[in-house]
Structure 1
Amino acid sequence: MHKKILLYIVLLIAGLNYAYAQDAAITGILNVGNGCDLSNAEDIGVAVRNDGPLLIDNNVVMNYTINGGATVSQTLGPGNPAATGAVYNFTFAQKADLSACDTDFDVLVWLEFPGDVNQANDTIRWSVRNDCTIIPGQVESDELVCIGNNGNTLNLVGQSNGTITNWVYSEDGGATWTNIPNTSTSYTFSNLTDDTQFAVEIDGGYCPNDVSSPASITIQALPTAGTLSGPTELCDVSANGVVNLNGNSGNVVDWELSTDNGVTWVNSGNTTTTESFSGLTQNTLFRALVDGGACANVYSDTLELSIVEASAPGLLETDTLICEDESLTLSLGSSVGSVQDWESSSDGTTWSPLSITGTTYNTGALSSSTYYRVLVKNGICPIENSNQVYIEVQPNISTGSISGGASVCATSASGVLTLSGNSSTIIEWESSTDSGMTWATIANTTTTENYTNLNQTTWYRVLIDGGVCPDQYSDTALINVSPITDAGVLEQDTLICEGDSLTLNLNSNIGSIIDWESSTDGSNWTSLVNTSDSYMVDSILTPTYYRVIVKSGVCAEDTTNIIFVDLNPDPTANAGLDIDILEGDTIMLNGSGGQIGGWTNGESLSDSLIYDPLAFPTETTTYYLTVMNSFGCTDTDNVTITVGTAIPDLDVKNVLTPNGDGYNDTWIIEGLAAFSSTQVEIYNIYGRMVYQSLDYQNEWDGKFEGKALPNGSYLYVVTPDGYENAIKGTLMILGDE
């Protein structure tokens, strides 16, 4: 564009000078212009106009340079139009070389002649661009790559002429193309997942555009390594076989083996899909390396082949001689593998399983000779049988039995014991006097043993020679010696109170108590059905004799001494009659019996250790009088004092002193006037009424049937008219006070 602007400016300047005299001007370009594949002999031509009156002739010299190079000059020549304003198309005879490709040529043309009055229009300059036909070249190189994890740099080679516009790629075989903003001659691709073509678009300038030959990047899918199949366990006595690779997508590069659990691997040099092996002695891992093509080589899965040590049954020990019914524990040592079973046989030929999987076996009590062996299996290796052991069983001996055992009294402890039925010889007799805890040897090898004057129970047995079996004892014979019976001592004659209980005890007896007996006359005896060494006599009411019968084993009975239990008489306690009193009253109790007495509930008595204390209960109370006689025997009676609510305005005095002194000479009840009538009754301690009045007026002077009553305690009963409850209490008569 800038070249065209320059041309226009030159033409404008030329036009402006048209009016000058004696002037010539270059007014335009005839050739050459921009083009494709210009040659080395291009015409350079311009239009020359006569702008003055003078005729242009050979004194006008035309000149041009290319890119400031050597000047080419040529006269305009005679015969050109001389008229003012005439235009002459002038072409240089000497051709210009414009063949250089992709080149901008600076073309400068000018004229010169003497007397040129306006040189400003003598020159014209323009630019000529020569673009050569594109040689698009080739993107290198075609490549097979692994899907996803790939990358490489592509290069445009062999390209000349033109300008790289951009790279393009196609994922559909060249049907459509997508631009890649890149104007360099190289491009780096990465992580392709589809087949892709890459090419370069080239701008040809004044020549046609073109596209390079593409490079094809072919995507290879990830390889399949395949899986191994084959044995996973073999016995080391026959560790031969084949491992097969199945499902692999590429060729086998090599097989690898490891005997250290994959720490190190050894190549086998085998490129087939089968790997044969033989004579393996240790666990081995197998894997195959598969060619990945454009992708990395891959390993198949790993097959682990375990080599199992051959079954080794070890040593079963040992042939043994035992007795009948004896058991034996057999042990298997140094075996390789697990015990599958133990077997037994009575003849060493026909075997029976015992369903035992341990390394030891207890035979239990054997009654016949038996062979044994053990079956051992290690993993997949065949079962191996151990050596046989023979357990020979010797029949038990017969120890026989002892006859002559007896129960005897110490007075006649002699006799003979006899052993019979024994199948072997007698080693010795033995005796024990402590129930078999310890035994004493008797130097006797015959079948009979005499015993004489035994004084205690004795056990006897015989030791029989067992041969290869243990010596054995016969059964045991017992001579049960009963000590001479001694009934012991029954203590002692006793005097007790009537109705008391007594425990009688028997001491120092030898033998068992047969019974206790009692008698009221010492002649006729009654069984008490008691075999213990004591007897409780409960509530004796009659003097009684007692004795005990004792018997030691087979010895005769013996009877104890006789004791007599005699009785003392009991006293009779009399606590008096039950009495009703009012709240706040005091009454005298009248107890009797025995030689001494005492009351319970003494906290409401004036003295609990006398027969006639004053009682002042605040609520109904029962008092118990216990009396004792000179024999120490006791009796108890009780009296209940019922405490009632006091009658209002009635005060019963509890003391009468009919001695004529003017004080308390009659029995006074204050408050009688408040009632229409008041009934009174007086009783002595024996319950006999000694005075009665239906309307008492404080007139009684302590007499009964005209005679003064003796001093003492009397019971009164006072019943005011209109009251159901009587007032009861004790009145003391003190005539001489």
Structure 2
Amino acid sequence: MYFQKTYLLIAAIFLTKQFSAQSIGGTTTGASLYCDSINSGFISLTNFNGAIVHWEMSTNNGQNWTHLLNTTSTQSYNRLKKTTSFRAIVQDGTAQADTSSISTLTVYVAGNAGILTGGGAFCEDAGNGQISLSSAPGPILYWQYSVTNGSNWIKINSTSTPLTYSSITESSLYRVVVKTVDGCPDDTTSTIVFKIQPKTIPGNILNADSVCYGEAGDTLHLSDFSGKLLNWFSSIDNGSNWTQLSDTTTYITYTTVTKSFWYKATVKNGICPMETTTPAIVALYNTNPANAGEDVTITRHEKITLRGSGNGFASWNNPEFLSDRSNFNPTADPMNTTNYVLTLKDLHGCITKDSVTVNVIVPIPTAISPNGDGVNDYFEIDKIDTYPNNSLIIFNRWGKQIFNASPYNNSWNGKSEGGHDLPDDQYYYVFDFGNGEKPVTNYILIKR
């Protein structure tokens, strides 16, 4: 009987504990407000029943929780950068776990006032558009803009987003002042930039002029332009076709002028459209320069007509051997090889020159065949009678004089001074014109 009563008592105590066990999450304390990330402290848990299983934290207002490996009644924090909530999970034995109250550390770090979108680079005018603010920690208090790169700010009494703008014609900064969290100062967003670029101005090309043919080159300058000079171009067909040049500086040098050229430059300022200068023309006054004709060869005492051409008034040098030095086509009869220069001067004062060489030769044979057939029997010098004071000496290959005549009258037919036929061989002569010219020396071959 005694043992039966004892068993019933133990069972009653066990059942009482089983039905009375309950997890109580308890109360957390330590919530606070911080206006920067320099923060630290503890969240404490009291009035709980059971064992602390772990702590949890959330940075998105309880939407998601992160498990923390802490089973003590205090949870530390340090340098939080955003608002963070903490809670504890408590379980008493096998009873269902319970969650504590939540303590929130409200944190606002300056510089997180939201994200602005808009702005950009524009040519002359930004036109019409909007600036939008997103992810702001609180309501908009007002907008601001600056045209002094942030030195001074002008208030815009608008509390809405997006902000509508029209016709921004100078570079500007925009930002928003927003309310953050109660107890922390208002904050300002980062700025967005409206970069307004002046329109492209192509400028003017200086020093273009009309010049004479063959005149030395000069330098063209690009002035009064706004933007970056991209390229120079030239044209030789009055602008129908253009060739890109390698120069990208503000000046370009052209060389000796022999044809008309057009020049232009392209300029571009930032995102603004490219512009092209008005062509500068380097024009020729005289496009038909002096041409003295082709070189020619004549025999002495022969006459030749020079074939000059071009635009302007003609003047030849060496007039003593010309019929008319001011004629484009004078008759020339030089005694020796002569270089004639034709100079032309046009109505603009442009002067061009060209030269022609008249080569003058005296035909002297290098072989005779004195066989009595009447062909090439004599050593004949062309127009021998025009050299009345001439002389001729002939030597054999050993340097022995075999013939001498002064004056010579084209009478030698391969005989010695004694009248005997000389053997076929190569001989040498010295012919002196007798007029101060350098004597002519060469060989003469006898071949019968």
TM-score, normalisation: structure 2: 0.50
1:220, CA displacement in angstroms?
A: 2.0
1:401 pairs with one of 287, 293, 299: 293
Identity %: 21
SS in 2 for 1:399: coil
Q: What does residue range 634-649 of structure 1 map to in structure 2 within 5 Å?
A: none
Given the superposition, is the C-alpha separation of residues 556 and 464 from structure 1 closer, same or farther in structure 2, using an over 3 Å criterion? Answer: same
Aligned length: 308
Match of 1:331 in 2: 221
Match of 2:317 in 1: 430
Q: What does residue range 276-295 of structure 1 map to in structure 2 within 5 Å?
A: 276-294=164-182, 295=184
Given the superposition, is the C-alpha separation of residues 247 and 191 from structure 1 closer, same or farther in structure 2, using an over 3 Å criterion? Answer: closer
SS in 2 for 1:420: coil
Q: What does residue range 118-133 of structure 1 map to in structure 2 within 5 Å?
A: none
Q: In structure 2, what residue type is equivalent to 1:235?
A: C
1:378, CA displacement in angstroms?
A: 0.7
Q: In structure 2, what residue type is equivalent to 1:377?
A: K
Q: In structure 2, what residue type is equivalent to 1:448?
A: P
1:381 pairs with one of 272, 277, 284: 272
Structure 2: which 5+ runs fail to align? 1-28, 53-71, 88-100, 363-393, 403-426, 444-448
SS in 2 for 1:245: strand
Distance 1:431 1:523 in 2: 41
1:477 pairs with one of 352, 357, 375: 357
Residue 445 in structure 1 maps to residue 333 in structure 2: no
1:305, CA displacement in angstroms?
A: 2.8
Distance 2:47 2:242 in 1: 82
Distance 2:278 2:200 in 1: 14
1:383, CA displacement in angstroms?
A: 2.8
Residue 308 in structure 1 maps to residue 188 in structure 2: no
Given the superposition, is the C-alpha separation of residues 305 and 190 from structure 1 closer, same or farther in structure 2, using an over 3 Å criterion? Answer: same
1:471, CA displacement in angstroms?
A: 2.5
Task: Answer yes or no: is the 8 Å Cα contact 1:314–1:335 preserved in 2.
Answer: yes
Q: In structure 1, what residue type is equivalent to 2:291?
A: T
SS in 1 for 2:116: strand
Match of 1:418 in 2: 305
Given the superposition, is the C-alpha separation of residues 190 and 406 from structure 1 closer, same or farther in structure 2, using an over 3 Å criterion? Answer: closer
Task: Answer yes or no: is the 8 Å Cα contact 1:463–1:474 preserved in 2.
Answer: yes
1:401, CA displacement in angstroms?
A: 1.9
Given the superposition, is the C-alpha separation of residues 366 and 481 from structure 1 closer, same or farther in structure 2, using an over 3 Å criterion? Answer: closer
Q: In structure 2, what residue type is equivalent to 1:382?
A: P
Task: Answer yes or no: is the 8 Å Cα contact 1:407–1:554 preserved in 2.
Answer: no
**Which of these two proteins has the greater Rg computed from alpha carbons?**
1
Distance 1:268 1:548 in 2: 114
1:336, CA displacement in angstroms?
A: 0.2
Distance 2:31 2:173 in 1: 40
Task: Answer yes or no: is the 8 Å Cα contact 1:317–1:332 preserved in 2.
Answer: yes
Q: In structure 2, what residue type is equivalent to 1:428?
A: S
Given the superposition, is the C-alpha separation of residues 550 and 386 from structure 1 closer, same or farther in structure 2, using an over 3 Å criterion? Answer: same
Distance 1:173 1:288 in 2: 43
1:381, CA displacement in angstroms?
A: 1.6
Q: In structure 2, what residue type is equivalent to 1:476?
A: V
Match of 1:557 in 2: 441
Deviation by residue 1:308-350 (Cα, 9 ceiling, x = unmatched): 11111112347744567987754321100123445677998x8
Given the superposition, is the C-alpha separation of residues 424 and 267 from structure 1 closer, same or farther in structure 2, using an over 3 Å criterion? Answer: closer
Q: What does residue range 511-590 of structure 1 map to in structure 2 within 5 Å?
A: 518=398, 555-557=439-441
Q: In structure 2, what residue type is equivalent to 1:332?
A: L
1:274, CA displacement in angstroms?
A: 3.1
Alpha-carbon RMSD across the aligned residues, in angstroms, is 5.3
Structure 1: which 5+ runs fail to align? 1-139, 153-168, 181-188, 198-214, 409-413, 433-440, 483-513, 525-546, 560-737
1:406, CA displacement in angstroms?
A: 4.3
Q: In structure 2, what residue type is equivalent to 1:375?
A: T
